[in-house]
Amino acid sequence: MTTTLPLNSGAHIPQIGFGTSQAADAARSVAEAVRAGYRHIDTAQMYGNETGVGEGVRASGVPREEVFVTTKLNNGHHDPTDVHRTFQESLDRLGFDYVDLFLIHWPLPFLNTDYVDTWKAMLQVQETGRARSVGVSNFQPEHLERIIAATGVVPAVNQIEVHPYFANNELREFSKARGIMVEAWSPLGKGTELSDPVIAELAAKHGHAPAQVILRWHLQRGDVVIPKSDNPERIRSNLDLSGFELTEQDMAALDALDKGEEGRRSPHPNEFGK
């Protein structure tokens, strides 16, 4: 069983989650992941796979209430009435009567619809009990400050890009200082950092796979991770992280791989969706 971490909403989130994507056969990979022991699945309206995610959870045989499920509001749905309508559509596709976490996927600060109004609609959804916790994704300090100042409600989670080449420490620290849980997306840098010589050396030293070394670094930094894999063996090994520990020196060696802005794999959140 993976460790769970407390959210400011009172709920608990399993620290290791399973990422999903547009391309994958979500029903198969999610069923595989839940059977392997994952109790946290990350999806989004944007991925077009919510139907498969719901099928996968049901096919696993594990009761719905034992699996923490997140979905995210798509970029075309920031208008408050769309938030309510499309949230219900997500539930219908998933075949669930609630999700554990509902996130605004991207801030889109250039839209006519202010993300503060979108956030207020998210809070109304939470009040109905159909989203146990609500949060954001890709929100920068100024976005977080505005939604908190306008509503007094601190998001439970900020799901952001974090991997060794893009440690995103300033935003992580800003979020954590306000009691917001950081979830690292693309925790493996989309698989591109696995052959880095420093990571390969640590993998050899600990007798674990490079991906396990990276995921262990995230866990020891206190973040939630959501690695994605379609491969049954990698699905299992990405969850099997308790058999070793990185030393302070190992952590420092991984910290030193941070390339700052150059390490981003996606556009800056102020630009994404323009």
Ligand X SMILES: NC(=O)c1ccc[n+]([C@@H]2O[C@H](COP(=O)([O-])OP(=O)(O)OC[C@H]3O[C@@H](n4cnc5c(N)ncnc54)[C@H](OP(=O)(O)O)[C@@H]3O)[C@@H](O)[C@H]2O)c1
Site for ligand X in 112-171 (CB under 6 A): 137-138, 159
**Any contact of residue 229 with ligand X (CB under 6 A)?**
yes
CB 171 within 8 A of CB 140: yes
- Of 7, 101, 211, 246, the residue at the interface with ligand X (CB under 6 A) is 211
CB 75 within 8 A of CB 49: no
Q: Each residue of 73-96: b (16+ CB within 10 Å) or e?
A: bbbebbbbebbbebbeebbebbeb
CB 230 within 8 A of CB 29: yes
**Any contact of residue 228 with ligand X (CB under 6 A)?**
yes
Measure the CA–CA gap between 119 and 150, rounded to whole angstroms: 10
**Any contact of residue 234 with ligand X (CB under 6 A)?**
yes
- Which residue's Cβ lies closest to ligand X? 19
Which stretch in 15-23, 58-66, 81-89, 170-178 sits in contact with ligand X by CB under 6 A?
15-23
Measure the CA–CA gap between 214 and 163, rounded to whole angstroms: 8
How far is C-alpha 179 from the geometric centre of its chain's CA atoms?
Answer: 16
Active-site residue (options: 47, 98, 115, 165): 47
CB 217 within 8 A of CB 251: yes
**Any contact of residue 14 with ligand X (CB under 6 A)?**
no
- Of 122, 226, 241, 257, the residue at the interface with ligand X (CB under 6 A) is 226
Which of residues 58 and 208 has its CB atom nearest to ligand X in the complex?
Answer: 208
Which stretch in 54-62, 126-134, 224-232, 245-253 sits in contact with ligand X by CB under 6 A?
224-232
- Of 2, 4, 21, 86, the residue at the interface with ligand X (CB under 6 A) is 21
What CA dihedral angle connects 64, 215, 163 and 49, to 10 degrees? Answer: -30
The reply to whether 47 belongs to the active site is yes
**Any contact of residue 175 with ligand X (CB under 6 A)?**
no
The catalytic site residues sit at: 47
Binding site for ligand X (CB under 6 A): 19-21, 42, 105, 137-138, 159, 185-191, 194, 209, 211, 226-231, 234, 237-238
